[in-house]
């Protein structure tokens, strides 16, 4: 049976037509799915009972199930979700405030069950790869988040989406692109591409496709300023030579005032020296970019440690002096293992 949340708008139109229904039904059903967050076909009350019966015979609506909720002392929320086959993934809601002091949320989305990249500093990588998530599973996280916070679509709390959760987005390119297309639909979830960021370790296949789509901003998990170190801490990502990746990113399609965001996780004693900063400045000099510095969040059994605060400041100061745009990204949710690199889809019970 078809999960209606797995259909793009065009596919839903074709499905509705195949049932012998008028074309305007597509828009009605679509809004029930993505704006009114209907969990069953029976809830679609502006559609005749006969049509609802016909729909229910061929399709259903399946959301992921929330099996555990955790809230950090800083207000970050982590949801453990169970998918239709019992697989577990996590999504995180990160609070911030507007200039006017109003609460805003950014959601960190997962796109795979586990991850095949095996980065040595990441808890998700230690899980290994199980499977790709479908569009209904990826976007089901957004539906659940809006339900959790009782979001008002006229003035939503949930403003930004970052694909920085479990999995490598470009290794699930088909379902990622379908999800981004649906996110951008004004009759549905209605997220502007400027409020969506897709983070990749650096996968050659699919990078140009993502850029040409214009459906999201790009963030690249760099974490090392040279090929040798990248191969040591990110062995699978490093199969694409750093020099080749930077050459491609130099011509990556960008909108006006847009830059490629680079993520750099500072690991104590590993990639945080002034020599590393010097190499990093040189690496970024020919790419229109900005740099997010993330201080490592130790996880259970981790082989790395966080750098000292003075080391972080010296690293940042060196880059700023060389006109690199640097943002120190404040980690949130560390006490509930919801910070960068800590997602492992495990239950406390």
CA–CA–CA angle 65, 107, 236 (5° rounding)? 90
21, 90, 137, 168: the catalytic one is: 90
Which residues have CB under 8 Å from 162's CB, separation 6+? 106, 107, 108, 109, 196, 197, 199, 219
For strands 112-114 and 103-108, give the pairing.
Answer: unpaired
Report the topology of domain 2-60.
Answer: DNA polymerase; domain 1 (1.10.150)
Which residues have CB under 8 Å from 325's CB, separation 6+? 259, 289, 290, 291
The SS3 assignment for 49 reads helix
Position 349 confidence tier, pLDDT thresholds 50, 70, 90:
very low
Residue with tokens 């029930």: 32
For the chain, the first-to-last Cα distance in angstroms comes to: 33
The SS3 assignment for 300 reads coil
Q: Could you say which architecture CATH assigns to the domain 65-336?
A: Alpha-Beta Barrel (3.20)
8 A C-beta contact, residue 179 and residue 102: no
Residue environment code for 149-178, b if the CB has 16+ CB neighbours within 10 A, otherwise e: bebeeeeebbebbbbbbbbbbbbbbebbbb
Q: Where are the beta strands (DSSP E) in 181-334?
A: 196-200, 217-221, 260-266, 289-295, 326-329
- Alpha carbon distance 219, 292 (integer Å): 9
Which residues have CB under 8 Å from 230's CB, separation 6+? 222, 223, 224, 237, 238, 242
User: Does 90 participate in catalysis according to the annotation?
Assistant: yes
Please report, to the nearest 10 degrees, the dihedral formed by the alpha carbons of residues 225, 226, 231, 232 taken in order: -70
Between 128 and 3, where is the model more confident? 3
Task: Kindly tell me if the per-residue pLDDT of 12 is higher than 90.
Answer: yes
pLDDT given for residue 82 in this prediction: 97
User: Does 115 participate in catalysis according to the annotation?
Assistant: no
Give mean pLDDT, residues 124-139: 93
Burial of 54 (0-12, 13-18, 19+ CB in 10 A): middle
Give percent above pLDDT 90 in the chain: 84
**Cβ neighbours of 182 (radius 10 Å):** 26
- Alpha carbon distance 224, 143 (integer Å): 36
The SS3 assignment for 306 reads coil
Task: Kindly tell me if the per-residue pLDDT of 339 is higher than 60.
Answer: no
For residue 95 the two structure tokens come to 């609070």
108, 111, 201, 340: the catalytic one is: 340
Q: What is the pLDDT of residues 85-123, one digit of tens each?
A: 999 999 999 999 888 888 999 999 999 999 999 999 988
Task: Kindly tell me if the per-residue pLDDT of 338 is higher than 80.
Answer: no
pLDDT given for residue 334 in this prediction: 60
pLDDT given for residue 123 in this prediction: 82
pLDDT given for residue 300 in this prediction: 64
Q: What is the pLDDT of residues 306-331, one digit of tens each?
A: 999 999 999 999 999 999 999 998 76
- Alpha carbon distance 160, 196 (integer Å): 6
- Alpha carbon distance 164, 117 (integer Å): 13
For residue 161 the two structure tokens come to 């989406």
The SS3 assignment for 207 reads helix
- Alpha carbon distance 164, 187 (integer Å): 26
Position 260 confidence tier, pLDDT thresholds 50, 70, 90:
very high
Residue spans of the domains in the chain: they are 2-60, 65-336
pLDDT given for residue 174 in this prediction: 97
Task: Kindly tell me if the per-residue pLDDT of 38 is higher than 50.
Answer: yes
């Amino acid at each position: 049976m078809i999960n209606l949340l797995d259909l793009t708008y065009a596919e839903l139109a074709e499905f509705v037509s195949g049932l012998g229904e008028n074309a305007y039904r597509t828009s009605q059903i679509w809004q029930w799915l993505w704006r009114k967050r209907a969990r069953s076909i029976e809830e679609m009350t502006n559609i005749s009972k006969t049509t609802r019966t016909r729909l229910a015979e061929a399709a259903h609506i399946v959301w992921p199930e929330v099996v555990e909720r955790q809230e950090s002392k800083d207000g970050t929320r982590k949801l453990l979700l169970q998918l239709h086959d019992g697989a577990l993934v996590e999504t995180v809601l990160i609070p911030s405030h507007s200039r006017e002091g109003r609460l805003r949320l950014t959601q960190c989305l997962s796109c795979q069950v586990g991850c095949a990249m095996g980065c040595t500093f990441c808890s998700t990588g230690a899980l290994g790869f199980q499977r790709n998530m479908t569009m209904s599973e990826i976007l089901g996280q957004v539906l659940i988040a809006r339900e959790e916070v009782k979001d008002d679509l006229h003035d939503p709390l949930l403003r930004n989406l970052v694909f920085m959760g479990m999995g490598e987005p470009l290794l699930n390119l088909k379902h990622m692109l379908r999800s981004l297309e649906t996110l951008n639909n004004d009759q549905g979830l209605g997220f502007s591409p400027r409020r969506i960021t897709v983070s990749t370790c650096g996968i050659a296949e699919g990078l140009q496709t993502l850029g040409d789509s214009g459906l999201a901003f790009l963030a690249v998990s760099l974490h090392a300023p040279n090929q040798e170190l990248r191969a040591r801490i990110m062995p699978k990502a490093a199969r694409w030579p750093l020099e080749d990746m930077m050459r491609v990113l130099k011509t990556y399609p960008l909108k006006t005032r847009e830059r490629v965001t680079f993520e750099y996780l500072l690991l104590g004693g590993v990639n945080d020296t002034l020599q590393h900063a010097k190499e990093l400045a040189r690496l970024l000099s020919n790419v229109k970019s900005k740099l997010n510095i993330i201080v490592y969040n130790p996880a259970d059994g981790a082989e790395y440690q966080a750098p000292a605060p003075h080391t972080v400041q010296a690293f940042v100061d060196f880059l700023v002096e060389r006109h690199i745009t640097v943002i120190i990204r404040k980690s949130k949710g560390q006490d509930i293992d919801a910070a960068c690199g800590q997602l492992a889809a495990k239950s406390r019970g």
